[in-house]
Structure 1
Amino acid sequence: MSDSQQNGPAPAWWSRPTDAPEPGPRADPAGAPPVPASEPGPAAAPATGPGPRYDPWAAAPLQVVDRGGTRRAPGLWTLTLLGTVIALLAGCAGGYLGILAERRTATRLELPQAAADDDKGRAPGSVAGIAAAALPGVVTLHVSGGGGSGTGTGFVLDGQGHILTNNHVVAGARDITVTFSTGESVPAEPVGHDSGYDLAVVKVSGVRGLRPLALGNSENVRVGDPVVAIGAPFDLSNTVTSGIISATGRPITAGGGKGDGSDISYVDALQTDAPINPGNSGGPLLDSRAHVIGINSAIRGADKGEDGDDPTRQSGSIGLGFAIPVNQGKRVAEELIRTGRATHPVIGVNLDMEYKGDGARVDAKGEDGKPSVVADGPGARAGIRPGDVITKVDGVRVHGGDELIIKIRAHRPGDRLGLTVLRDGRERTLTVVLGSASGS
């Protein structure tokens, strides 16, 4: 007879009747002590014979044991609150992880860059090297007086505080302030000036650690030489520009604002394409050894008129700057420091500035009671006569009276010059020893 026939049909386990006995320890058929449901029982020994059959009605149901008490199933509000808390925690964790990932990504994204200690300095002949050597000796001048104010540049000449600049920078100034490259400012007093050379010297007092600039020799300058200009264009102090010498011996005149010509300067200039603008005036023009070879003084501006017929010039640089040769500046500065005035070399003749021909003609009649040729002057002793046309100075052609004055002023009193003179259709060479006249 089968088990089902012996005990009746067995229901499925999940259809256990509700009136089933309470779960608890089940007596072992062989009389072994009961095993609590909350603790694991010993491992069953292998069967050696027929054992008791499984009785689904007598099997204890599964239980969740809580040593602290029996738990109740959570309600809907509890599940909702728990879900909200979990969502908030997940959001916070996600945000934090996102920020952390972004930081890690940004940390990893590093572009290559040279280390700060890779700076080994600059070659002395480079623009940066020249600027580093010269900037401590360059100053910016702020002047006021005479109904206006302005800005210019200068550079230190010696340890006593003498500073060289242009005359047109400080002319008529009542107050002069000198600002060094470090930003320190001190008042300055005028020492001497000369409008004919457009040079002036001012002095500062009580300043230690001055850095005078080394003076070069303008006779060594050649077209194409690299140069560096330092100044304060439009009051932008410590501005460094570079270029080349584009011409030498360029005769220029500047000034003339007074109307009587007393403030006209005559310069046998060095021409450069280094950008120079208003405010650069009086600053140094430096060679590749950081030696001063010129004093920046003038620029050629572009015409405002489209057809070039407007005499008014734009103030910006167009690559035509002019510097007073340092040899001339050195001589004038020495005289200004020593006596407050500079001397001009002269040949003792009056020129016809209206002459339109080629060369500079000695006035045949004289003007305002002045003789054409000063008696016993340098020109008279050399044999110059009224009406002579001077065409060359030391073999260099001159095209007018201004150029003759410029070529003469490029020398010192006492120098000997060879003048080529056209007289009665014939050229002859005369040797003149330059005289001296006091400047203004």
Structure 2
Amino acid sequence: MADSQQSEPAPSWWSHPDRPAGAPPAAAYDPWAAGPLHTVDGGRPAAGPVRGLVLRQAVALGLGTALLAGGIGGYVGVLAERRAGTRLELPQAAAEAKDRAPDSVAGIAATALPGVVTLHVRGSGGGGTGTGFVLDAEGHILTNNHVVAGAKDITVTFSTGDSVTAELIGRDIGYDLAVVKVDGVRGLRPLTLGNSENVKVGDPVVAIGAPFDLSNTVTAGIISATGRPITAGGDKGDGSDISYVDALQTDAPINPGNSGGPLLDAKAHVIGINSAIRGADAGGDGGDGAKQSGSIGLGFAIPVNQGKRVAEELIRTGRATHPVIGVTLDMEYSGDGARVATRGEGGKPAVTPDGPGERAGLKGGDVITKVDGTRVHGGDELIIKIRAHRPGDPLKLTVLRDGRERTLDMVLGSANGS
């Protein structure tokens, strides 16, 4: 099932500031408000004619002063109004170069985004969104199987916004990987594949995808664990759709829609394919088994070394091979380790005749406790550890038989995946 689609309205947060009030108008000058006028000649009033002359001169002087004061007040008012209408300039940092260090989150994103695509899938059960990334100049794109499972139409959208249709080349349920292909697209930007064996806990990582159809979304975090055995799927109930992953764990936020997108190291090399998340119980106590769909900082990615091998086989043949040990496991066994069944399906032997297990000396009832020195705690975990290898790889199994521990040397066989 492809990931669901959801969108949210953008917030509106901009508002204009109020214009500041203008300066108050200047008070008018009243020449008569200061009391009677007098000449200055020792404090004595002048005779009649002179007094009239002085009064007329005083009136003229008062009117001139009033006009001057009014003019100054009006000019000051105009200046205040102009100042209030002038655009306000706040301090601001100068423009800087837009380039970022190549190993910064921004630098990694700038390098990788042109090679990351958003997949819109339609099928009989509806539609959904996922992510993928370009593998080569021929147009092959790697994504998750659960993104394209049941797809009738696949549309690939690049970071530029350009969209083209794609065809399914091959997919594998057990590894949860698939390859699609676009034709006639120029200027493809394949991402560089890293080496997942070089990954260490604490390494910084960047995830790119389309969570809830928000394409070109970049998040960052660290590798929080490696070799984390997880199983995903199982919706059919018969186990035929379960994927087994010896995963890289990251706290970089991953949400529905990120599936199939790249997990990148500080060199912008792909080290994993984002595939699954651990959801929190919706009620907080796990009472009803419902899970929250958002990230809680527990994301899981398929190691790129495994993804590279499977992608190469899907491109060549449309199918991927699985490494096998040639035994039937007792999946109901509740003890520590993975127990070899005493009888296979349909009455067949639990240990395939002349298969890898028989040649290595495995027998029905043996309990496999370690693979290459790493402890396993159940049948699922054994399958995960086995599938982390290639067909033909040698490995050592630690086996408990009749209360005694022994080590068996094995060369893995091969089986076609689904």
TM-score tier (shorter): 0.7 to 0.9
User: Aligned partners of 1:371, 1:172: CA distance in 2, in Å?
Assistant: 35
Q: Map 1:48-197; keep pairs closer than 5 Å.
A: 96-104=78-86, 106-107=87-88, 109-111=89-91, 113-116=92-95, 118-119=96-97, 121-197=99-175
Where 2:272 maps in the other structure, the secondary structure is strand
1:357-403 deviation digits (Å, cap 9, x = unpaired): 00000001222333201111110111100111100000000000000
**Alpha-carbon distance, 1:219 to partner:** 0.4
Tell me the C-alpha RMSD between the 2 structures. 2.6
Q: Distance in 1 between matches of 2:334 and 2:359?
A: 27
What is the match of residue 404 of structure 2?
A: 426
What is the rounded CA distance, in whole Å, between the counterparts of 2:93 and 2:346 in structure 1? 73
Q: Deviation of residue 311 (structure 1)?
A: 2.1
Do residues 335 (structure 1) and 317 (structure 2) align?
Answer: no
Distance 1:278 1:327 in 2: 24
Deviations 1:286-344, CA, capped at 9 Å, x for gaps: 00100000000000000123422332211111111000000000000000000000000
CA drift at 1:99: 3.2
Please tell me whether residue 348 in structure 1 is matched to residue 326 in structure 2.
yes
Runs of 4+ residues deviating >6 angstroms: 89-95
Q: SS in structure 1 opposite 2:146?
A: helix
Q: Secondary structure at the match of 1:206?
A: coil
Shift of 1:93: 6.6
Secondary structure of 2:386's partner? helix
**Bigger relative CO (Cα 8 Å, ≥ 6 apart):** 2
Q: CA deviation at 1:98?
A: 3.2
Amino acid at match of 1:255: G
Match of 1:393 among 364, 368, 371: 371
TM-score with structure 2 length normalisation?
Answer: 0.82
Give the 3-state SS of the residue equivalent to 1:357 in structure 2. coil
In 2, Cα distance between the equivalents of 1:98 and 1:254? 71
User: SS state of the match for residue 346, structure 2?
Assistant: coil
Going from structure 1 to structure 2, the CA distance change for 1:335 and 1:91 (only over 3 Å counts) comes to farther
Q: Which runs of 5+ in 2 are unaligned?
A: 1-46, 54-65
Instruction: Specify the code of the residue in structure 1 equivalent to 2:300.
Output: F
% identical aligned pairs: 79
Unaligned segments of structure 1, at least 5 residues = 1-11, 16-60, 62-82
Structure 1 residue identity aligned to 2:267? R
Q: Partners in 2 of 1:171 and 1:404 — Cα distance? A: 26
Question: Alignment length, in residue pairs?
Answer: 364
Q: Which residue of 2 aligns with 1:54?
A: none
What SS does the corresponding residue of 2:80 show, helix, strand or coil?
Answer: helix
Which residue does 2:241 correspond to in 1?
Answer: 263
**Amino acid in structure 1 at the alignment position of 2:113:** L
1:133 CA displacement:
0.5
The structure whose Rg is larger is: 1
